[in-house]
A and B are shown apart, each in its own frame.
Chain A
């Protein structure tokens, strides 16, 4: 089995990121100009990405804002060491706009409307098709009624 002449991308990343020594890979890097150049490219890219990602987060949270945040944390644990937080800061909170009133009310209205429609349609069909549920023989059969026996007047 022959060894691959160059380091893979993952091996290069491992060399860059891994704190433990990777002797074989490091020795290869010293000998191979191509892999050394790829390693330098990767190191440059990762350093650049790290700087930008940190600066991106830092731009969203200035040192003054960090100070305010720290004061809020310490104030909170002093006032109420058992409570939960809080939106911070008090200004600039997003206020989402309801689409049409409260969603719960929309549900209630929708359910009531659907119930009304189902009830009306059900009633309509039940009236139009009264014989659907009975057999023809049953429908045409005369009902036998036992003759009433007339009792003496005044008896129930």
Chain B
């Protein structure tokens, strides 16, 4: 609905109003977009770049947005394609270059709030590290489906439209991802 309203404003030439509504849209979608991009790219700066690029593309192509398609599908598709392009570019770059980021000069993580919540405490625990490692070792397609379904909270139907897969294929990848996660975590426990 919001995307359709922004499109109407842009078509009417009311660019200031369109930008104001677009700011609302960014606020609504931003956190989820960052989670998706981060799990594709495993790098906060690349995720930043992918998310910014996706939002700018959405605004510049909003006139081409078709209202019959859910906005989440359109936006997530743009974001995922951008993430895949960045991954390819990074692989090409690393083929020729040696990254100089070491533990000493790597950008510091954003400071964590002094009163960490239960989620942060779980993440910092050994169990949390195992779980994060388990998600990271999933093959790309399974990780993509798991990220979109479980972490971004999209339905299997939305994920199937986003990735261009049938719903049953999405479920198969999701079940395999769950099985793999469980096996990995059980092995870690023993």
Q: Chain B 44-60 against A: per-residue CB contact (8 Å), 1 yes, 0 no?
A: 11011101110110011
Instruction: List A contacts of B53 (CB < 8 A).
Output: 84-86
Q: Chain B 93-109 against A: per-residue CB contact (8 Å), 1 yes, 0 no?
A: 11011111100000101
Instruction: List A contacts of B147 (CB < 8 A).
Output: 53
Q: Is A54 an interface residue (CB 8 A)?
A: yes
Given contacts A13-B174, A52-B123, A74-B19, contact A61 B34 (CB under 8 A): yes
**B113-131 at interface with A (beta carbon < 8 Å):** 119-120, 122-123, 127-128, 131
Could you name 17 residue pairs across A and B whose Cβ atoms are closer than 8 Å? Answer: A50-B151, A54-B119, A57-B38, A58-B35, A61-B48, A66-B30, A69-B51, A77-B22, A78-B19, A81-B60, A92-B45, A94-B101, A95-B100, A96-B99, A97-B98, A98-B96, A99-B96
The number of chain B residues with a CB under 8 A from chain A is 61
A77 touches B56 (CB 8 A): yes
* Band of interface residues on A: 35 or more
Least Cβ–Cβ distance between B33 and chain A, in angstroms: 10
Given contacts A54-B119, A60-B38, contact A13 B178 (CB under 8 A): yes
Instruction: List A contacts of B151 (CB < 8 A).
Output: 50, 53-54, 57
Least Cβ–Cβ distance between A15 and chain B, in angstroms: 12
